[in-house]
Amino acid sequence: MPASQARSRARDRNNVLNRAEFLSLNQPLKGNQESRSFSRKQSGQAGAAGAPNSNPKERRQSQQLPEEDCMQLNPSFKGIAFNSLLAIDICMSKRLGVCANRASSWGGARSMINLLGITGHGIPWIAGTLICLVKSSTLAGQEVLMNLLLALLMDIMIVAGLQKLAKRKGPYDVSPGLLDYLTMDTYAFPAGHASRAAMLSKFFLNHLVLAIPLRILLVLWAFCVGFSRVMIGRHHITDVLSGFVFGYLQFRLVELIWMSSNTCQMLISIW
């Protein structure tokens, strides 16, 4: 027995895995379990020591931190899809911003594109509606113009409120103009010019008798006004599309609260 024990000790002594630097490889599970249990003991002692000083809200937040980290490391399918669509929207909007500045590929046409955008601005439309309302002498014309003025004012307030809530910047660092500040159209989502153009085109198509070529030109005008805002780098594609949707919804709202001829005459007399 002593001889066999001496031989086993010599064999263990000559084994490379029994050296100190290889002990972690020889018994990884036991070492990990001991280190984990030791760290848990330390964290438990620290938590017990700091329990009187910490309130329940802080303990609840510390317990939620690992779950929040897991949510960030493993995003949901909806989050991945939304971020992908957002990246595509930004990329396409930057490529279509050919008139964002003078150094762009279509920088020479920037003045013409800005002029096209002014045709969909709220201030010229409100001023023109007021002038036509003063010169109008028919009850039907005054009724249509008063409801058009209501639609324009409502469009400015709704778009300004939505932009203040979203606070989305445009694809390019393009500062708003003076007319944009007057109508509080300083952010990107939704596009105020697009919503106004869609609302006006739908309003005129419903309440004016127009020939087919004029109706087609009216729809093309609304599309060009919205697309011009992408070309100068003020809005994303989704901003313009959402502006078209909000413009149509605003038209439907005006149709629901349409002011009668008597109401319009009463408001005109007060004014």
Three-state secondary structure readout of 142-170: HHHHHHHHHHHHHHHHHHHHHHHHHCCCC
Confirm if 247 and 202 have CB atoms less than 8 A apart.
Answer: yes
Q: Which amino acid is at 35?
A: S
Q: How confident is the model at residue 127 (pLDDT cuts 50, 70, 90)?
A: very high
By CB neighbour count within 10 A (0-12 exposed, 13-18 middle, 19+ buried), where does 221 fall? middle
By CB neighbour count within 10 A (0-12 exposed, 13-18 middle, 19+ buried), where does 53 fall? exposed
Give every CB contact of residue 142 below 8 A, 6+ residues apart in sequence: 133, 136, 261, 264, 265, 268
Least confident of 4-8, 76-80, 149-153: 4-8
pLDDT tens figures, 221-241: 999 999 999 999 889 999 999
Sketch the domain layout of the chain as residue ranges: 109-270
Which carries the bigger pLDDT value, residue 27 or residue 12? 12
- Judged against a pLDDT cut of 50, whether residue 169 lies above it is answered with yes
Q: How confident is the model at residue 203 (pLDDT cuts 50, 70, 90)?
A: very high
Confirm if 207 and 133 have CB atoms less than 8 A apart.
Answer: no
Residue ranges of alpha helices (H) inside 74-138 are 77-96, 110-118, 122-135
Element spanning 66, H or E: helix 56-73
Q: How confident is the model at residue 205 (pLDDT cuts 50, 70, 90)?
A: very high
Rounded to whole angstroms, the Cα distance separating 134 from 127 reads: 11
Structure tokens at 74: 């493993």
Q: What is the pLDDT of residue 224?
A: 94
- Judged against a pLDDT cut of 80, whether residue 34 lies above it is answered with no
Q: What is the pLDDT of residue 178?
A: 78
Confirm if 124 and 118 have CB atoms less than 8 A apart.
Answer: yes
Structure tokens at 9: 């000790």
Rounded to whole angstroms, the Cα distance separating 78 from 73 reads: 14
Rounded to whole angstroms, the Cα distance separating 40 from 143 reads: 77
Q: What is the pLDDT of residue 152?
A: 95
* Number of residues in the chain: 271
Confirm if 258 and 147 have CB atoms less than 8 A apart.
Answer: yes
pLDDT tens figures, 95-106: 888 888 877 788
Q: What is the pLDDT of residue 70?
A: 46
Confirm if 230 and 93 have CB atoms less than 8 A apart.
Answer: yes
Give every CB contact of residue 179 below 8 A, 6+ residues apart in sequence: 118, 121, 123
Confirm if 174 and 100 have CB atoms less than 8 A apart.
Answer: yes
Indicate the pTM of the whole model.
0.69
By CB neighbour count within 10 A (0-12 exposed, 13-18 middle, 19+ buried), where does 204 fall? middle
What residue has token string 């949901």? 76
Active site residues per annotation: 193, 235
Q: What is the pLDDT of residue 136?
A: 87
pLDDT tens figures, 43-94: 555 444 444 444 555 555 555 544 444 445 556 777 788 788 888 888 888 8
